[in-house]
Amino acid sequence: MTQYIAHMASLSLIALLTACGSEKSTVSDHQDGNRFFNTPPVNVGFWSVLKWNFTRKKHPWPDSVPVDTVVPPLSVASGMRATWVGHATVLVQTPGNNLLVDPVWSKRIGPWSWAGPKRYSRPAVEFQDLPRIDAVLVSHDHYDHCDMPTLERLAKERSRLGIAPLGTADLLKKAGFEKVVALDWWESTQLPSGDTVTLVPAYHHGLRWPWDRNTRLWGGFVVKTAAGVVYYPGDTGDGPHFDQIGARIGPIDLALMPIGAYLPRWFMHPQHIGPSEAISAAKRVGAKVSMAVHWGAFRLADDGFREAPDSLKALLARDPAAPDFRVVDMGQSVELSNVPDVVVGDSLTANARELAVAR
Ligand code: ZN
Ligand code: ZN
């Protein structure tokens, strides 16, 4: 039922879809003046959503998942530390940076607090235990990545700066961040530390309401710091963008790689990679270490609770060229102590736009 509610917007969207306007007027290879798009287009249209809803075979989840909460350090003096809070929420800490990726602390995700998929596991970091956050990074407008109550609280209590793709950044502005930076694909911005954040392409889509499909851009982030390079793909299907990111930015020191909400493949493959594609992506971007995310908190697709990580482990075990790909529990961290040879500040472009924020 919750999945049905979660996809009501998709279902009703197609019938209601009209060319409702957007304030964006730019035309590019992924924007037509009104909406953003992938090439080839992501097909999650009415008939495939309907077919999925009538043919679903949901694999089991427990009623709830126990999680031991942790208190992250206020900062780190060296190296890199990525703490998995749950789903796609990760706290990335390097010297001078506390970054929070796709923060969601709500008990349900959706347009209203009482609707939408429920949380099976609580966040592994209590909100009040979060350190100061130097920047909040939001990859796209879907509710499991862009949670307005969480963003509003972060803007009020923890962070001045929000960074997001074109259009999605407007939601951060609405949430009350003092400074909001909107990025197009391959654009970069400088963090307060002087390190850089680049938005990179992803194969996905945007939707919050039936009338706003693809009016906000989606993407992944590459954060280049003196302690190493972090890559978070956001939500994405497989595509040549992994090769492009590997060629233009790789190698990557730490990839926060989504693996879950991947079944059934016929429906999910254009929007979410699964374990086998995540391994392939890790290789193609040149990830020295990968950490599995986007599983275990919200039941968004047909895969069982631990199906994605278990499948990932099995695939890695029989891959003679298996990359260093770690499955951690919520609240655990991946720590990298090496300090690679990173040139900080060599942004690809520096034309990111800062949104004027009325306060
Ligand atoms: Zn998404
Ligand atoms: Zn997602």
Q: Taking residues 286-312, what's their average pLDDT? A: 98
More confident residue, 23 or 252: 252
Q: Taking residues 14-42, what's their average pLDDT? A: 69
281 vs 311: CA distance, rounded Å: 16
Whether the per-residue pLDDT at 248 is higher than 60: the answer is yes
Distance 43 CA to ligand 1 centre (A): 14
Distance 206 CA to ligand 1 centre (A): 7
Distance 70 CA to ligand 2 centre (A): 23
Percent of the chain surpassing pLDDT 70: 87
Return the ∠ at Cα 102 (arms to 196 and 11), rounded to 5°.
Answer: 130
More confident residue, 163 or 14: 163
**pLDDT band for position 283 (cuts 50, 70, 90):** very high
Distance 323 CA to ligand 1 centre (A): 25
Query: Domains along the chain?
Result: 2-17+27-356 (3.60.15.10)
Distance 282 CA to ligand 1 centre (A): 19
Distance 140 CA to ligand 1 centre (A): 7
Q: Which of 41-45, 152-156, 355-359 has the lowest mean pLDDT?
A: 355-359
Nearest ligand, measured from the Cα of 87? 2
Q: Which of 36-45, 186-195, 283-292 has the lowest mean pLDDT?
A: 36-45
Q: Taking residues 338-342, what's their average pLDDT? A: 51
Please measure the distance between the N-terminal and C-terminal CA atoms of the chain and give it in whole angstroms: 40
Distance 294 CA to ligand 2 centre (A): 7
Ligand 2 is an ion; its neighbours by CB within 5 Å are: 144, 235
| Sequence-ordered list of residues with C-beta below 8 angstroms from that of 22, at least 6 positions apart, any chain | 34, 35, 167, 215
Whether the per-residue pLDDT at 152 is higher than 80: the answer is yes
Q: Give the pLDDT of residue 113.
A: 85
Distance 215 CA to ligand 1 centre (A): 14
pLDDT digits (tens, 9 = 90+) for 57-75: 999 999 999 999 999 999 9
Q: Taking residues 253-282, what's their average pLDDT? A: 97
Query: Between 275-284 and 241-248, two packed helices, what is the crossing angle to 10 degrees?
Result: 30
Q: Taking residues 129-135, what's their average pLDDT? A: 98
Q: Within the chain, what is the greatest distance between any pair of CA atoms?
A: 55
Distance 144 CA to ligand 2 centre (A): 5
Predicted model pTM? 0.89
Q: Which of 191-200, 201-210, 350-359 has the lowest mean pLDDT?
A: 350-359
Distance 134 CA to ligand 1 centre (A): 24
Q: Taking residues 157-181, what's their average pLDDT? A: 98
Distance 163 CA to ligand 1 centre (A): 17
Q: Give the pLDDT of residue 350.
A: 37
pLDDT digits (tens, 9 = 90+) for 74-91: 999 999 999 999 999 999
Whether the per-residue pLDDT at 297 is higher than 50: the answer is yes
Q: Give the pLDDT of residue 43.
A: 76
**3-state SS, residue 176:** coil
Distance 68 CA to ligand 1 centre (A): 27
Whether the per-residue pLDDT at 106 is higher than 90: the answer is yes
CA atoms within 13 A on the CB side of 39: 5
Distance 207 CA to ligand 1 centre (A): 8
Q: Taking residues 225-251, what's their average pLDDT? A: 96
Whether the per-residue pLDDT at 129 is higher than 70: the answer is yes
Distance 95 CA to ligand 1 centre (A): 30
Nearest ligand, measured from the Cα of 142? 1
Question: Tokens 């029989």 map to which residue?
Answer: 318
Q: Which of 13-17, 204-208, 289-293, 334-338 has the lowest mean pLDDT?
A: 13-17
Distance 78 CA to ligand 1 centre (A): 33
Distance 205 CA to ligand 1 centre (A): 7
Nearest ligand, measured from the Cα of 203? 1
